[in-house]
Structure formats: C-alpha cells, structure tokens
Amino acid sequence: MTRLRGSGNSPVLGGVDGTDGPSPGSVPSISDTARPMADDDTRLSRRTLLAAGSALAGAAMGGNGAQAAPPAPSVPADTGAVQGGKVMFPNWRGSGDRPPAPTPAPQPPGQRVGYCVIGLGRLSLDEILPAFGETKRSRLAAVMSGSPDKAKLVARQYGLPDDAVYGYDEWDRLKANPDVHAVYVVTPNGVHRDNVLAAASAGKQVLCEKPMAVSSQECRDMIAACAKANVKLMIAYRCQYEPHNRAVIRLARTGEFGKPKLIQAFNGQTTGLPEQWRLRKALSGGGSLPDIGLYCLNTTRAVLGEEPDQIQAQIHSPPDDPRYREVEETVSFTMRFPSGVIAQCQSSYGVYEARSLTLHTSNASIDLQNAFAYEGQRLFVGHRDGKNAARDEKILSRKNQFALEMDHFSRCIQENLRPHTPGEEGLQDQVLMEAIYEAARTGAPVKVGPPQGAGTGLDVTRGPEPEEAG
C-alpha cells in the first residue's frame, strides 16, 4: 500500500497492517503530517485517517494531549429541545430567508398504522410501495395479489415475512392478522366494490384508489358497507394533499388575487397496448374520463369548494381505432358553478402528455404546471406589479403525494377523524361523471348539484382539512 511519508527516510504513517508506523508514544511534526501526498497517494485506510487525525490533534495541543476538547453545543438553537414528543429547533435563519420546515418527527414503527396493499400492479410497485419509505405514520405490513410468485418476490424486497403474503381468496386469514389495520385497494376500478366490501367485512380500515368504482350505485354500496362495519373509508385523491395543488386552493379561497372567474384543466397522454384493462369498460368504467379526466373534475371542485349546477359535454373516439371500441379517447366538458365560475375541462388518451391547471381571477392568472403528475409541479402567478406585468414562481418543498395521503388516513385512524376525501367525495365525482356521459350522449346540458342532504356551504362532501406539515 502507498504510504504517506514525512521528511527524510523515516516513515510517518504506515499501511493498513500498521507496519512502518510511528514508534509508540512518538508524534510526528506538523510539517511531516501536512506534507502533500504523492500523486499516487489516493487511498487511505480508516486506521490511517484516524492516526493522521490523532497526530494533528496531538501536535496542536503541544504534543502532550492534555488540552480538553471544545465543549459540545448546549444551547437550544443548536441542540433543540423535546416538546410534545418532538424535537423542536428555533428558527436560526435571518428575516431575509424563509424559515426552515419543521424537523421530521416519524412515529416509531410499532406505533404506525400497518397497511396491506391490495393489488401489485404498476401503481403499487412504482409509486405506493416506495412511498412507505417517506411516511411518518404508516408502514407496509402485508401484500395481496393474484400472482403468488410476484407477491412473494415483492414481500422479500420489502422485508415482509412469508405469512404476510395473501391471495385474493384469503380475506379470512387477513382478518385474523392484528398487524394489518388498514388496506389500500389498488386493483382495477371494476373490482373496487368487491375489495372494499371484503375489507369492511374483515374489519379493516379502507383507503381506495380513484375512481371509487364504475357506478354511483357501487359507490353507495361501499359507503354503506364501511358504515355498517364501523370502519373508515377514504378515496385516494392524492392531488388534494399535494403542496402545490393545496397552494392553488388557498389562493382561490383567500381571494388574494381576486375572485376566481374561469378555470381551465387539462389531462392528456397517449395510450398503447390495446389489451390493457383500462380499455375494457367492465374493468375501467370508461376511458380517459374516469382515468385521467377525473383529476380535472375533482381538482376543480376542490379548488372552489362548490358543486356545479350544470354540465355540458362532448366525446370523440377515432372510429377506426380498435382500442376505443368500448371506451372513449377524448372528453371535453364544461361545468357552471353557483358563484358564476365556468370550468372548462378536457382529457384525452390521444395527445402528447400534458397536465395543467389554470385559475383566472380578476387580478391574476394562476398556472400550475404538471398539476396532476406524480412529481414536477411548478406554480406561477401572473399579475400586475405597479406599472409592469410580473410572473412569479412560488417555490414549494417537494413532498411525496402518496406518503401524504397515506399518513393523513393513518392520522384519521389514530385520532378518529373523518378523512378529508371520504367515500362521499368519490360518490359525488361518480354522479358527475355519469352526468358528463349523459350530456355528451344527448347533446343537451344536464342539471346537477350537491348531494341530497349534504347541507349548504363549501366542501359539503369533504372532511376537515389535512395537516399542512405532512
């Protein structure tokens, strides 16, 4: 091994085996240890580095090693303090900088809500399972799949025991597992109802992917089953928990830039593989509308807090494309709200990927790019700045949407709260999508409104606001 040497022919630091090192009790001089390494001195063992550090420290203390080390930090600005079960630090930054985010305070693994993920398709494997690594209240406890080999492999990858793997016919065995408190249903839309009813019967809390089901009646069945079993039901509208989308909601509700007048929402992508389940109506319930157009519908409702009173719509599918024999390619629908806001929404399976949300107010244009994507959101506000026009970007911290929604549901379970996006939220979207299909079929506007018995005011289908800290 190449050695770092001092002056003359006396070795200063030996190799990894300690040979050719300094004699016991000897301390090399500053000039020796500070000598530049030769060009080939690119590798130093841990022992070598420690020896070099000790030598320098000893030399700095006059060679006798008697001087005490500097005192450790002791003021709260550096060490923090435990408050309410969390480590809290004061804001150390000056007034010119934005304050730092709260220090993470994850719950111990044994206190977190244990989830069984139902269905191991792309969304589960690419997004949801990895998101558990960013949660603070949630943990992966089990998986359920119709593919045993895949399920066993995934379980090993995430450190789950063999008995934490379930088939779709093993709900009774899952019921007996006290380590699983909740399920996250990530199966095709057409089987959501059966999965949710089975989970409720097993006494497990239920987080279900959107769209909630393929019909409003199925949604009602799911709500009733969870209520009867006294378990919570939440629909996974991740965008309502994502920081940039929440910032748009705040801007719309506070009127900082004036009242909303118009909303434009678009969600589009290209679709291949004609054999995929999303192009089979029995499993999907429809084409681009329930899959990606739903984001435009749900986000518009969430931004305003209102329910539309009228819907108009058009649908088009290429007549010679076999992919669209059962479901639609492109949907355009317009919603009118009681406040006078008009929302123009579009979704398509036949265009280059784009996901945007623009809110037009009397004093600004609020533009959220990549609005419905898993990541990459950017929020811009165009407005007047004195005699000039300005376009400002609001920089927000990135947070995993799936982790945020799971932790919100876990908090609701732990603290017995109503979820922000309960089953009633999913039901209302399904009712409105059925109205969109009806408006497109007849070519006439369809009157809609809030659910019967939902009361008046804003957010009649939603629970309390999610915690901002995530």
Which bin fits 457, alpha (ψ -120 to 50), beta or left (φ > 0)? Answer: left
Closest CA to 185 of 205, 215, 155: 205
The answer for residues whose C-beta is within 8 angstroms of residue 432's C-beta and 6 or more apart is 297, 308, 311, 335, 448
Angle between helix 216-229 and 192-201 (nearest 10): 10
For residue 243, the SS3 value is: helix
DSSP character string of 140-162: EEEEE-S-HHHHHHHHHHTT--G
Per annotation, catalytic residue among 184, 237, 295, 324: 295
Per annotation, catalytic residue among 210, 232, 324, 437: 210
The answer for residues whose C-beta is within 8 angstroms of residue 179's C-beta and 6 or more apart is 114, 141, 142, 164
Could you list the beta-strand ranges (E) of 127-229.
138-144, 165-166, 182-185, 205-208
Strand order through the sheet with 388-394: 388-394, 378-385, 364-369, 350-361, 260-270, 342-348, 330-336, 310-316, 446-447
217 close to 234: Cβ distance less than 8 angstroms: no
Gyration radius of the chain over CA positions: 29
Active site residue 115: no
Active site residue 210: yes
Q: 418: which 2 tokens?
A: 């109503």
User: 349: which DSSP letter?
Assistant: S
Active site residues: 210, 295
